[in-house]
Structure 1
């Protein structure tokens, strides 16, 4: 086949079954692989994982294997069935093509592999389940606005000596409970629970290519001077990374230890989000797809060359049916087998919008209605993809995007001296206000389509950005990291002092700390989904390294001794998170709710202040005023005239939900580079909302693409997806104001491709109950009342 053009016949060969890869049982195993252009495909069964034979050049290991010829079936799939229990063996697929080329490759759908991913492994997944795994339950997430996300690298979490963890750099470090530093502060997983975050976002934990797993096999000793990477170099998408296992050569153990990590986090009330990289692979010719299906999985430009929208040499053609299927199958596997609670999509701009829409709809409907989905709405370079998932494409589609508008308005640029609101730039107040409202007047339909953040793993982290923009990097002795080997880097880092100007007697009075707390304080009190980078609460520094993807533990490790050194900072973060999680006014659910409840009082001169009025979101507090002062000096700020006195719960000294002091009158002094949160009185609010639950029944049982368009809810109008199946019906939940008498809706296919019914429909929701259930059948059905214990019928 030509390298420049995709074979039209190949494009038509699509397999819709859910059983690609290995289907294992103790009685037999079935192997299926999609290789439509191969002339012949064989299964090669091995006794070893290959890595023991030649670790210097593992890709060329060729010990003898048993060859089993496979049969071609419909959809371009080759398959074979072998009797007996094959657990403990390894396998590859060998394909022969018309040009005489013969390739041998790991199963693209492999769920277990040998060390360094050399061969697919046969395991009994039931054997990998930890004790009580069947009882593992994710913490409840009532609404995406309730999430507080904490981005974390598995190895960074435990690699530093101050962690006190035995399983340094491993999944199992998350199972080490009860750890404390010498001052009695919690560290590790108990620290995460104490901080109060709801979700840990794990940077890539699938099998990636650039770390030699056989070098990272220690248990508890220092793990410096070995390979390090963030993991954005995919190798085997459906297998946990072996370097995070205590024994990478044991295919089942890495699976079990991953599940133990998930189980441990769930036990502490923390959900787990996977960072996934379906936009490119590390390698092409030796990657997971090209050897078995040449020229299909990768996007090409108009000249026939591999396109490079990822910036690393290739991009996956997500718009093609079998690429799209692979991604959906992979995500479904992680969500079901590993109990994963959400996914963050790397360079989501390179994923076509149809794929993202189908992922969102199908995973929630078929696997988990509460999955949290979000991604980067940009690319790493030019791409020929016409249907990129960029900011705005997600409107009403059930997933969120990172809000880089808000990020840049808060801090300025990501790697340099550029300034934003908290770093001394006037004129950013309007952009700050837009971010506070969840970008509903910019590029979102709903606040929960915006993931609000100031820093992540990419670029300078928060402390270093604040320090550099103040011109403090030289005084801190930040090293020039480029081209340093590990030993020199460790020595240079040891000599640096990122905290040279911090007075331990007045920690919260430090300018850099003030700016950092103000930045994330804005994130944690804005509408949308807040996102924190691990270690911000400990003033983590990466010593000026703006791209530490392979800089090793000397730069990347979380230094847990910083918790004791900067305890007031941790307490401030903890208090802000408690404030957000306790008070729903900071977690409004929809555009209409925000427009009714949030009013800006001032947006100029380095001051942004706003009011959350009348028990917003069903809050116990009646009126809440939030003030951000980005000036160096103390400023006098007017308070709204809805009350004569106010309780301060957040100021420059502390944050939380208990009143620090009470202020009389309508003026308040706000310290420079600080925030303030005040409320007037506490009382029982009216109920926040009631729920209309629509059960949709189609005779053809095909619900793919169908959704509701709703209006007059008072909270969030627009597209409303069906989220789960019940009794063969698709179910959607619509939140409406308690005094709502009627809402309108239309049943539609995707974006108005088709409607079920001709005119607008309406639901009477004038009853006082908190939940109204309605059954909606096809367009020919007439309205009929069912008994009180059943669903009301509407059409």
Structure 2
């Protein structure tokens, strides 16, 4: 029954047809075949001298293995092997000789597809014949046209020198296990890293191997960050995605010299970029085709095993710099579906199973493409198998889940446990150090557990899995990604320097909002723990889950490791651009750059896991682009030399930003707002200083909620607080006490002042808590990034004075 179209009809007492509907068969497939745990994909068996291929396709009527000698062409020489279906497992199998190692294959599948005959645009579904690659592919030809036969785990030719003995950098907290709160994560796009860097050899620009080119400007930049305290590089999607031609000869280009000659607020740059956007070498890559294969456009040769060797070389190169590797994974959707599109894989193998369907049978697309259904057993298995594959075969140290809330919590926990079980002795990696985190947004068809308990922020508490803390971003920056980008927050001028662009209420209203937003920042600095208590702006002791207002769920984590604090990421505007959009016209560029540094410092000095967008440290701009996923190298440029800056390189893409042209055009036309080398260099040094300070003491990296509860206190709170000033004390146990954490400091006091004037924090409780203490600025502060403002930072008589637009760290030495 599962190999044909199923329908249910309703008839009245006289036998007349009254209604009819098709049947979704995923539940039946799971009940009968979903427990399969055996071999899938291509296995090269050296001992047996053969290659085994297995495909789970229980509703297929016929499957033929199509063997090819080369990566493309030669279809008339294709060797056809009829596959046989297992009696009870729904798996089709074939075995061929070892001479096919290095060759390529596809499947030809005959099956009923609900989109056959033109559906979902009006067809009724039909039996179709589709040609497809293997969903468990481990290597491919260019553009994912054929699956490459190889032994990814064992073949020596697929391993760079020293791969099997590669060991990762040790955690700063000591021991063998990397605690998430000891991490400092840097989100980076593979191509951005080197595509336009002239110190990188031409053949390596925009490629995996750029990370192995010693002495280049990008590599030296990462080395400096790692030396200061950066621990992990989070790579935007680097699996096989379908939005970029993988062969260089098929990639379109625009003359950057001509683009640079155009006015800074011209729309010609974006028009030129948009004209080739779907044919150039750039895309973020959130459009997966084959989950288990490195993206071919980042390899020097997209056919066959080069992408495997070079990806591993990149991971090894990062380790040599002192950095571990995190992969961005997008299991919530696939780029394509249906029986005919060349980029459709899962849906050709088991139509209607791997994707989530609504009650009318249509595929959900709330994630932007074809939503997958991890609630179905074999989709869940594919996710877990794939994560283990990347961890073992590429020694990946963490995974960031795109739209994680669209994945079932059960799936994430199963993956967590499978990864944690990996050992150095057996698999060559220590799974205890692998960290999982992602976007725990709860919306659309999965909202409030409507499909099943999902991996949303509120459901993750107590799991050890992290999620992005958008509360900090919104409190610091103001507004939300879906509103007017000129709405101000604590950092960007609300109450203190209103921009006048939009109506933000009276001064009293803005003052109250500043204090409300400060509570979001306080919660974040305490690890965004839902039960951590502090005194709110009304004078009441409140838990983090009620920060800002009762029932806000601002604080949602059970442990610090479950909070990933950030103020910018690849999505939306860069940190610098967000500040530029929100700042009042009379705010000088130097102050805007200081605001950028305050945001970086708040993230660095908060409890939890700090996360930085590549370029936060060099005032990165994308010329105010709100969504640069397809904006080319021109708008996404990273220049680690500091000699150029991307503010004012043309109006960003009309498709995503056209509704803003009326107010961003004049900003981009004012080149006095473009930072120069000195400001960029200062911000770069400041980031390294913040990382070094964080690394200097475990008091910045508390591991448990219990530690945060008993060690962290906030001052300048309640109704009489000075708005815009946050003071956080982290205290250690006395020397020699069993609970002592830090050998250098007894107390750490972090003071944030977003106002334009110096503030002396006069808090009775603070005065009592530091009575008799000798507090001084942290010995590293001002040493890496000299700052004349620090001269006025003092702590006298139990009252610290904090310069304007500054974050100061005071310490009591042991």
Q: Under a length normalisation based on structure 1, what TM-score does the superposition of the two structures give?
A: 0.76
CA distance in 2, matches of 1:623, 1:667: 15
Question: Which of 585-594 and 192-201 deviates more?
Answer: 192-201
Alignment correspondent of 2:744: 620
Residues 450-465 of structure 1: pairs in structure 2 closer than 5 A: 450-465=563-578
Tell me if the contact between 1:588 and 1:617 (Cα under 8 Å) persists in the aligned partners: no
2:787 maps to 1:673? no
CA distance in 2, matches of 1:628, 1:216: 52
CA distance in 2, matches of 1:114, 1:378: 35
C-alpha displacement at 1:140, in angstroms? Answer: 3.0
CA distance in 2, matches of 1:217, 1:102: 29
C-alpha displacement at 1:315, in angstroms? Answer: 0.7
C-alpha displacement at 1:269, in angstroms? Answer: 1.6
CA distance in 2, matches of 1:65, 1:471: 66
C-alpha displacement at 1:206, in angstroms? Answer: 0.2
CA distance in 1, matches of 2:561, 2:784: 24
Residues 727-746 of structure 1: pairs in structure 2 closer than 5 A: none
Matched positions, count: 633
C-alpha displacement at 1:366, in angstroms? Answer: 3.3
Residues 188-227 of structure 1: pairs in structure 2 closer than 5 A: 188-215=221-248, 226-227=280-281
C-alpha displacement at 1:407, in angstroms? Answer: 1.5
Alignment correspondent of 1:228: 282
Tell me if the contact between 1:351 and 1:388 (Cα under 8 Å) persists in the aligned partners: yes
In structure 2, relative to structure 1, the CA distance for the partners of 1:15 and 1:512 (3 Å cut) is same
Measured against aligned partners, the alpha-carbon deviations of 1:613-651 in whole angstroms (never above 9, x if no partner) come to 134743520111111111111111245442343111289
Residues 98-109 of structure 1: pairs in structure 2 closer than 5 A: 100-109=127-136
CA distance in 2, matches of 1:406, 1:214: 41
Measured against aligned partners, the alpha-carbon deviations of 1:59-102 in whole angstroms (never above 9, x if no partner) come to xxx54411111111131111111123312211011112265421
Which of 604, 611, 618 is the aligned partner of 1:538?
618
Alignment correspondent of 1:160: 196
Alignment correspondent of 1:633: 757
2:407 maps to 1:351? yes
Which fold has the larger relative contact order, with Cα–Cα distance below 8 Å and residues 6 or more apart in sequence?
Answer: 2
CA distance in 2, matches of 1:189, 1:164: 14
Tell me if the contact between 1:198 and 1:270 (Cα under 8 Å) persists in the aligned partners: yes
Alignment correspondent of 1:519: 599
C-alpha displacement at 1:678, in angstroms? Answer: 0.5
Residues 758-773 of structure 1: pairs in structure 2 closer than 5 A: none
Tell me if the contact between 1:464 and 1:542 (Cα under 8 Å) persists in the aligned partners: yes
In structure 2, relative to structure 1, the CA distance for the partners of 1:253 and 1:418 (3 Å cut) is same
Alignment correspondent of 1:407: 473
Q: Which structure's residues are more often helix, by fraction?
A: 2
Tell me if the contact between 1:262 and 1:272 (Cα under 8 Å) persists in the aligned partners: yes
C-alpha displacement at 1:164, in angstroms? Answer: 3.9
Which of 487, 491, 512 is the aligned partner of 1:418?
487
Tell me if the contact between 1:576 and 1:656 (Cα under 8 Å) persists in the aligned partners: no
Alignment correspondent of 1:24: 44
Which of 34, 58, 82 is the aligned partner of 1:14?
34
Measured against aligned partners, the alpha-carbon deviations of 1:280-311 in whole angstroms (never above 9, x if no partner) come to 0010113120111111001111222112221x
Alignment correspondent of 2:326: 273
2:182 maps to 1:128? no
2:647 maps to 1:611? no
Alignment correspondent of 1:80: 94
What SS does the aligned partner of 2:60 have?
coil
C-alpha displacement at 1:188, in angstroms? Answer: 4.8
Tell me if the contact between 2:689 and 2:781 (Cα under 8 Å) persists in the aligned partners: no
Which of 40, 52, 62 is the aligned partner of 1:40?
62
Structure 2: runs of 5 or more not aligned: 7-21, 113-125, 172-177, 257-272, 424-430, 495-513, 531-554, 644-676, 734-739
Measured against aligned partners, the alpha-carbon deviations of 1:447-500 in whole angstroms (never above 9, x if no partner) come to 11000000000001100001110156xx9xxxxxxxxxxxxxxxxxxxxxxxx9
CA distance in 1, matches of 2:310, 2:690: 33
CA distance in 1, matches of 2:451, 2:77: 43
C-alpha displacement at 1:41, in angstroms? Answer: 1.2
Residues 218-617 of structure 1: pairs in structure 2 closer than 5 A: 226-248=280-302, 250-285=303-338, 286=341, 287-310=344-367, 312-366=368-422, 368-378=431-441, 381-383=444-446, 385-415=451-481, 416-425=485-494, 426-427=514-515, 428-441=517-530, 442-471=555-584, 502=589, 510-562=590-642, 565=678, 566-603=680-717, 604=721, 605-615=723-733, 617=741
Q: Under a length normalisation based on structure 2, what TM-score does the superposition of the two structures give?
A: 0.74
Measured against aligned partners, the alpha-carbon deviations of 1:334-387 in whole angstroms (never above 9, x if no partner) come to 000000011000000100111111111121123611101001001574445232
Measured against aligned partners, the alpha-carbon deviations of 1:520-539 in whole angstroms (never above 9, x if no partner) come to 11111010000000011111
In structure 2, relative to structure 1, the CA distance for the partners of 1:402 and 1:444 (3 Å cut) is same
What's the RMSD between the two structures over aligned residues? 2.7
What SS does the aligned partner of 1:92 have?
strand
In structure 2, relative to structure 1, the CA distance for the partners of 1:534 and 1:678 (3 Å cut) is same
C-alpha displacement at 1:25, in angstroms? Answer: 3.5
C-alpha displacement at 1:242, in angstroms? Answer: 0.5
CA distance in 2, matches of 1:17, 1:85: 28
Structure 1: runs of 5 or more not aligned: 54-61, 476-499, 503-509, 683-795
CA distance in 2, matches of 1:634, 1:236: 55
Question: Which of 396-405 and 373-382 deviates more?
Answer: 373-382
Alignment correspondent of 2:547: none
CA distance in 2, matches of 1:400, 1:607: 28
